[in-house]
Structures are given as C-alpha cells and as structure tokens.
Amino acid sequence: MRIQIPKSLRLEHDELHDFLATVRHEPGVLGDALRRLARLVEPHFRKEEAFAMPPLGLLVRLARHEISPAMAEVYPHTDWLKNNLPTLMAEHDAIGAAVQVMLQAARAADRTDYIQFAEKLVNHLRVEEEVMYPAAILVGEYLRFLLGTNARIDAA
C-alpha cells in the first residue's frame, strides 16, 4: 500500500517552498534573512514530508472505517515522528526565530509580501504543532489499537 500525502498539505508545503525559492536573490539584510530561513525550512519540510505527513493520508479512510492490515506500514512513520518530536519542535523554534528576523527586515523594507509570507509560515508551524503532528501520531496509535502492534506491513 502506498500512503499518499493529502493534496492540501502537499500544496501548502509546495507554496511555502516555492515562495522561498523565488526570493533567494533578494539583496541586503532581507535577502540574508530569507536565505537563512530557507536553509532551516527546507530540511525540516523534507522530514515532515517523509514522516509526519504520510500518516495523514489515511485519515479519510480511517474516518470511513476502511481499515486494512496494510495500513500498518504507517508505523515506521508514526514511530519516527514520536521519537523525533522534540527535534521537530526545536526546529520550529529555530524557524520561528528566523521568521522574526526576516519579519523585522521586511517591515524595515516595507515589504508586505514578505510580511504576509511570515504570517502564513508562523500559522503553518502552529497548525503542525497543534493539529498535524498529534493527528499523525494518533493515526499510528489508532491503527495499533485496531490491528495490533505486530500487524504485518506487507499484508493486503
């Protein structure tokens, strides 16, 4: 079974990533702040896309009670997320601090586009902390409850 990241989450990540990719040539203090932010966000997003977001692709099926033993393949994702949650949260702290630096530079340059981006990114971090990470972990816990800890990953 291939678990798909929900399209809405993929699009949001792509939008944030694409914005950072297009502003890399911004000069001065603002450009430096944007490049630092991009260096923090990109590896963080890769981790989320590999581990935190795939379990959320099962939510609709779980809500419909469409349970399959093959869903146990999500366990490595949710286990990784539980074990690495402190690291992800520390990365959020670093990203949040970098956003504040970028926000100061954006305000000084009167760049409302960057100010809006900063607000969007901060909200994205909150949604991850308050909704996405807990929901992804719950997917694994719920499946373990339904299927058992030793469900075969290759079962159909």
- pLDDT confidence tier of residue 150, bands split at 50, 70 and 90: low
95-125 residues labelled b (16+ CB within 10 A) or e (exposed): beebbebbbebbeeeebeebeebbeebbebb
As for how many domains the chain has, the answer is: 1
- pLDDT confidence tier of residue 149, bands split at 50, 70 and 90: low
For position 148, what pLDDT does the model report? 77
Closest CA to 98 of 15, 21, 9, 20: 20
Structural domain includes residue 139: yes
Structural domain includes residue 137: yes
For position 152, what pLDDT does the model report? 46
Distance, in Å, from the CA atom of 91 to the CA atom of 112, rounded to the nearest integer, reads: 25
Instruction: Give residue-wise pLDDT tens across range 91-147.
Output: 999 999 999 999 999 999 999 999 999 999 999 999 999 999 999 999 999 999 999
For position 38, what pLDDT does the model report? 95
Structural domain includes residue 1: no
Q: Could you give the 3-state DSSP secondary structure of residue 6?
A: coil
User: Domain containing 97: what range?
Assistant: 7-147
**Mean pLDDT (the chain, rounded):** 92
